[in-house]
Amino acid sequence: MLACAPPNAIAQSTKSGDSVTISDTQLRPLSIEEAAAFPFKQQKVAIGQIAFNEDQSTVVVAPFSGRVTKIMAKVGDVVKRGAPLFEIDSPEVAQAQTDLITALHVVDKARSQVNLTKRVFDRQTLLLSQRATSQREADQARADLSAAEADLKTSAGGVLAARNKLRVLVGRSESDIERIERDKIVNPLITVNAPITGTIVGRKIGPGQFVRTDSGDALFSIADLSTMWLKAAVPENDIGNIRVGQSVEVRVGAFPDRTFKAEVTTIAASSDPVTHRVVVRSEIANPDGLLRPEMFATFKIYTGDGGPSISVPDASIIRDGDLSFVYVQTKPVTFQRRRVVTGLEQDGRVEVREGLKTGEKIVGRGAIFVDNEWKQ
């Protein structure tokens, strides 16, 4: 013999026209909210694309012509500024070192010539004091010494120029330059380092490839992904409402439930002659790396404060195709399915332009459950 269930153990609901009545048990998990005024901000909606922050990204080109001998980094690596990217065997690097070694030899030769002419001058000066030589010979010795000293200064300038070329243009360190001057050994290999800290997002070279300085090709692309850009095309008739510094809410298709906050940073100075749209750029924080270049994005730019409007929580709205409904409480456990016309959506609230009055009570959390009961 089966035991009878208590009256409230089995939840029952009944439907009558646009209304549905549920049990006290079914009512408990629901939240009942009031339609209340909310100060919605004025906004413009547009579409755009996510892009790298060009203020924090760069490309690496070939500083010298030569053959790539080694690759030290790959796409996706996070590198620090100064980290090695690739190595080149370059005749230009070898020539710069050879120039320094040659300049050092010239200095040594000029210094020897100064020492020689100095001895000749000292001897001619002594002989002239003893009336053993002519004034003309002494003057010639003095002229030869002055010329030798001038040549030494010139050759010293050549060494300085060669050192600066290695340091500034080739990128050799002071210790490398001192080694070249000491050992007089040429090393044609040069390591190209990362100019900024960031993520390697592109690479177009491999070992053995010959690269040229006059090609201008980007061998590596590095970007700091902690912030991204949103480039949006705003119609001309809306651009008058856009200002630098305005707040932006961004959504991307890959993360439909996630809203990214941004701020307008730049408004283009010209309009596209074909589409008649103006590019508006915003900067978005991307600490978790979810945003990627070329992602399609929709966004809202808040252009000002609007007046208060009737609003309900977004959980209250039931979407049925292009129509929207809410469930209005008419009795403690009875709810009427009512069509509403919605407008703006901000901060978890939805503007209701038609269908509700301030103070009416509607189902918030659990509205989808009530709708399922009504549909049965």
Tell me the DSSP string of 296-328: EEEEEEEEEEEEEEEEEEGGG-EEETTEEEEEE
Q: In this structure, what token pair is assigned to residue 222?
A: 């590095």
Q: What is the CATH number of domain 54-89+189-223?
A: 2.40.50.100
Candidates 344, 269, 359; CA nearest to 303 is 344
Question: What Cα–Cα distance (Å) separates residue 82 from each residue in 85, 196, 202, 210?
Answer: 9, 7, 17, 23
What is the predicted pLDDT for the residue at 240? 82
Domain ranges across the chain: 14-40+306-375, 54-89+189-223, 91-183
Are 14-40+306-375 and 54-89+189-223 equal in CATH topology?
Answer: no
For 228-251, the pLDDT digits (tens) are 999 988 888 888 888 898 888 898
Enumerate residues 6+ apart whose C-beta is below 8 A from 6: none
For 252-265, the pLDDT digits (tens) are 988 888 889 899 99
CA–CA dist 273, 233 (Å, integer)? 12
The answer to which of 86-90, 96-100, 143-147, 345-349 has the lowest mean pLDDT is: 345-349
Q: What percent of the chain is modeled with pLDDT above 70?
A: 96
Q: Which long-range contacts (CB under 8 A, 24 or more apart) does 146-153 make?
A: 147/117, 148/110, 148/113, 148/114, 148/116, 148/117, 148/118, 149/114, 151/110, 151/113, 151/114, 152/107, 152/110, 152/111, 152/113, 152/114
Inter-residue contact 314 to 362 (CB < 8 Å): no
What is the predicted pLDDT for the residue at 281? 93
The CATH class of 14-40+306-375 is: mainly beta
For 108-163, the pLDDT digits (tens) are 999 999 999 999 999 999 998 888 889 999 999 999 999 999 999 999 999 999 99
Q: In this structure, what token pair is assigned to residue 67?
A: 């053959």
CA–CA dist 17, 213 (Å, integer)? 79
Q: In this structure, what token pair is assigned to residue 290?
A: 């979810």
Enumerate residues 6+ apart whose C-beta is below 8 A from 217: 61, 62, 204, 211
Question: What is the residue whose two structure tokens read 């407008």?
Answer: 343
Confidence of residue 64 (pLDDT cuts 50, 70, 90): confident
Enumerate residues 6+ apart whose C-beta is below 8 A from 273: none
Q: Summarize the confidence of residues 351-360 as an average pLDDT.
A: 93
CA–CA dist 317, 324 (Å, integer)? 6
For 290-347, the pLDDT digits (tens) are 999 999 998 888 776 667 889 999 999 999 998 999 999 999 999 999 999 998 888 8
Q: Summarize the confidence of residues 48-53 as an average pLDDT.
A: 93
Q: pTM (2 decimals)?
A: 0.61
For 264-300, the pLDDT digits (tens) are 999 999 999 998 899 999 999 998 889 999 999 988 8
